């Protein structure tokens, strides 16, 4: 790994927000998933959650492969499982929904651990998601249309979260767990070796302060044998 790439990946990881995420419920269009993951990456989200209620419509896990290299996508078979996962991390769950209970999305405190749930393109969020959410939010609109494309709506909310967190100094202190940082550094800086390790079930070695691999001869022999 070059010094420049090592520095760039570290800079990215220094600004990751492990307590901010998107929960995507039963999306049907591949380009929306890709756009949502890119928006998540742009504001420093480290992982998103995808819910698949209809297996026939399940998208390939590689749809947003370029962005997924830096944003982990967790897959769930139910809304309850996904919301349970983020609530176990202490996150408030916000659901975008056009209702009398919905509040202006800008009135929410996004410096708190937060999961933003976006519904399916045509039908919106499910009744289960509404029942499990902590708040319903709305993006005020003054035109003839009543809703935005799901990827546009998510980006709008995410950049309000980014604005609040930046003002609170939350991008100035590294917040990602060290083990996760080392995983991303290895996979991003040594992708060929990472793929071999994944294929044969070999643990990643440590990296030194310059991002170079620190491993004993036994590890290297295993890698050489697996790569033949």
CA 148 – CA 91 distance, rounded (Å): 25
DSSP E strand boundaries for 160-201:
none
Residues 162 and 199 occupy one common structural domain: no
pTM value? 0.86
Q: Is 148 annotated as a binding residue?
A: yes
User: What is the per-residue pLDDT for 62?
Assistant: 52
Per the CB < 8 A criterion, the answer to whether 127 and 26 are in contact is: no
Straight-line distance from the first to the last Cα atom of the chain, in angstroms, rounded to the nearest whole number:
22
Could you give the CA distance from residue 10 to residue 174 in angstroms, rounded to a whole number? 10
**Domain with 134 in it:** 17-167
- Is residue 91 located within the same domain as residue 29? yes
Residue 7 in domain: no
Q: What pLDDT, on a 0 to 100 scale, did the predictor assign at position 88? A: 95
Q: Does the annotation flag 111 for ligand binding?
A: no
- 96 is an annotated ligand-binding site residue: yes
pLDDT along the chain (228 residues), means of 10: 88 94 85 87 94 63 58 92 95 88 93 92 81 90 72 92 97 93 93 93 94 94 86
Residues 163 and 187 in one domain: no
- Examine the domain organization and report whether 90 and 187 are in the same domain: no
Same domain, 211 and 103: no
Based on the structure, what is the number of domains in the chain? 2
Please give the order of strands across the beta sheet that includes 72-76: 72-76, 47-51, 20-25, 114-118, 92-96, 135-138, 103-104
Q: What pLDDT sits at residue 27? A: 79
Q: Token pair of 82, please?
A: 């996904």
């Amino acid at each position: 790994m070059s010094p420049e790439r090592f520095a760039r990946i570290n800079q990215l990881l220094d600004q990751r927000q492990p307590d901010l995420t998107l929960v995507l419920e039963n999306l049907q269009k591949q380009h929306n998933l890709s756009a949502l993951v890119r928006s998540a990456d742009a504001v420093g989200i480290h992982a998103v959650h995808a819910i698949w209620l209809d297996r026939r419509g399940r998208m390939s896990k590689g749809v947003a492969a370029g962005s997924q290299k830096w944003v982990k996508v967790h897959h769930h078979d139910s809304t309850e499982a996904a919301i349970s996962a983020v609530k176990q991390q202490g996150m408030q769950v916000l659901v975008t929904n056009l209702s009398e209970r919905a509040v202006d999305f800008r009135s929410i405190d996004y410096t708190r651990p937060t999961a933003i749930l976006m519904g399916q393109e045509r039908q919106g969020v499910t009744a289960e998601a509404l029942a499990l959410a902590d708040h319903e939010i709305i993006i005020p609109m003054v035109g003839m249309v009543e809703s935005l494309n799901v990827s546009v709506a998510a980006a709008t909310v995410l950049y309000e979260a980014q604005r609040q967190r930046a003002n609170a100094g939350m991008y100035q202190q590294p917040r990602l767990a060290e083990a996760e940082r080392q995983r991303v550094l290895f996979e991003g800086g040594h992708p060929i070796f990472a793929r071999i390790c994944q294929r044969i079930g070999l643990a990643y070695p440590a990296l030194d302060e310059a991002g170079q691999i620190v491993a004993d001869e036994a590890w290297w022999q295993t890698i050489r044998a697996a790569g033949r």
